[in-house]
Structure 1
């Protein structure tokens, strides 16, 4: 194992500043990838005072890197956020709006916001919160696991898909830095079809693995095919009502390809349920149900999956 130590804390105000909200596995992975480029990167901290934190990263080759990350405390938000040119939001879908509310009023109008979370939905609320800022959306299939609070290990390569949603465009300089720093990343002029495609995988795999307490690979069994097909079919119909045209056969093939490729994995929703944590069901199957209702359509299977996961969550305290 080789170990490199460096500091990504920089006083060079000439560097474009990127701030990351959310120091979970993906937040720390993106931080490590960006901090190796010519960008000043920090985390938006929740503590009152700013502090430096040693963070460790293990890559796919098992090489370990340690660096010092700056967590901007609440008292320094007004001072530091005014310099942020890109705010990457890596919190859970249900945390996005609440996390942004105290932050967004401190951002410059030329700051850009990038939402990078599972599911869909928060982008619609965030778009109404903007005060001149631009908003981009993204999804990543990179795998990362927190071995401890400040040690993240990359577990899979995956692709990262990013694209503009509304407001002013992200500056070309920062866009190029993002794409050159994050491996296998792509920029799409129309990101919404990519997000709907990722959502199709999530509506099928996440709730089913949580409900049936199984690894992803077990969903290849014939007994689950009817539910998976119905859930994805409903999503395709709802997406069409939103003017997003998706190919059902191609999507179903992709779902089963992911089931095969990640056969030994437990989905994030399975893990959330096992640890009695709030899930992102509202931003996954719940989003399909919400959009179906908007267009006067039925999404019976997604509604049933939503209800099943909601019931599991409501049973946490009695099972504890």
Structure 2
């Protein structure tokens, strides 16, 4: 299966590398530094104490999706529409498209541009960019994808590449569950610049996270989404499973990049406003990350 990855960041590189190592022809589309590094050396994947070199094609051009049977979209949520518009002219009519992005509405936004179905996916992987074209896997790696004519086949393809994949008939609830986890961790991790384990041990942090989860549940319920009863336990358990992990929001701020906070806590705040709900914990975290982004901008 010919695969193209639009967005050669940490997540895109990880899944692209896993599929390439399984023998699939993979084309990575990313920024110049990453494309140059990958064109020469492939994707360098540090995983389970070993170094793997995944052979890939690499380019900065959106035409890299041409002839791909499967296109993985892994750009930042702010870049979703622009990326879709860039690659749309080059997509095959029968290409399958999968959104590997944070947030809950990226598949819908992609569908609005492409005029065809896009499969949403909840991504559970701890991975970070070490250098151009080089990523380190820190844990997990599974996917939950929505239903569609190609979903079962894609799940088998991913599983054969070492990517555990489930197909869910209620992927909206899965995406909202992941959104809630992100809302509880990402901003706080970025504000404190502490990994998950030490972060949750700070006095008062667990209580703030609990408030965030309760607010997300209320907003999801208003939107017709039912979240798992044990969600608080799931959220708090992540720190024990990944004590050394930094959130993507924290990593973005470390690199002085714009974060995806508008599509995490910001999405919850905007959706809450539609239903007349109050979400003070999410609103405060959103404002704090905006302040940090502005401070980075002013000192750039």
TM bucket normalised to smaller: 0.7 to 0.9
Aligned: 1:150 with 2:130: no
Q: Distance in 2 between matches of 1:155 and 1:192?
A: 26
Secondary structure of 1:297's aligned partner: coil
Q: Is the 8 A contact 1:58 1:152 kept in 2?
A: yes
Per-residue deviation, 1:45? 5.0
Aligned to 2:163: 183
Instruction: Quote how far apart the aligned CAs of 1:266 are.
Output: 2.3
* Residue from 277, 285, 300 that aligns with 1:305: 285
Partner of 1:137: 120
CA contact (8 A) 1:205 1:219 kept: no
Once residues 172 and 183 of structure 1 are traced to their aligned partners in structure 2, the CA distance between those partners, rounded to angstroms, is 14
- Residues 287-307 of structure 1 deviation map (CA, whole Å, 9 limit, x = unaligned): 111221222322222112111
Number of corresponding residues? 295
Label 1:224 to 1:115 Cα distance change in 2 as closer, same or farther (>3 A).
same
Q: Is the Cα contact below 8 Å between 1:209 and 1:219 reproduced in 2?
A: no
Map 1:274-289 to 2 at 5 A. Answer: 274-289=254-269
Q: Which sections of structure 2, spanning at least 5 residues, go unmatched?
A: none
Residue number among 87, 99, 104 corresponding to 1:120 in the alignment: 104
The structure that has the greater radius of gyration is 1
Give me the whole-angstrom Cα distance separating, in 1, the residues matched to 2:154 and 2:244. Answer: 37
**Deviation digits for residues 40-91 of structure 1, max 9, x if unmatched?**
22123566xx9833224344333323243212453x82xx644222110112
Whether the 8 Å contact between 1:20 and 1:90 is mirrored in structure 2 is: yes
* SS, match of residue 157 in structure 1: strand
SS of equivalent to 2:5: strand
Measured in 1, the distance between the counterparts of 2:60 and 2:142 equals 32
* Residue aligning to 1:61: 48
TM-score, with structure 2 as normaliser: 0.88
Which residue number corresponds to residue 243 of structure 1?
224
Supply the distance in 1 between the matched residues of 2:210 and 2:60 (Cα, whole angstroms).
47
Residue range with higher mean Cα deviation, 200-209 or 53-62: 53-62
Question: Unpaired runs of 5+ in structure 1?
Answer: 1-15
Following superposition, the deviation at residue 23 of structure 1 comes to 1.4
* Secondary structure class of the residue paired with 1:142: strand
In structure 2, how many angstroms separate the alpha carbons of the residues matched to 1:313 and 1:210?
10
CA contact (8 A) 1:53 1:68 kept: no
Shift of 1:172: 4.6
Cα RMSD (Å): 2.4
**Inter-CA distance 182–114: structure 2 relative to 1 (3 Å threshold):** farther
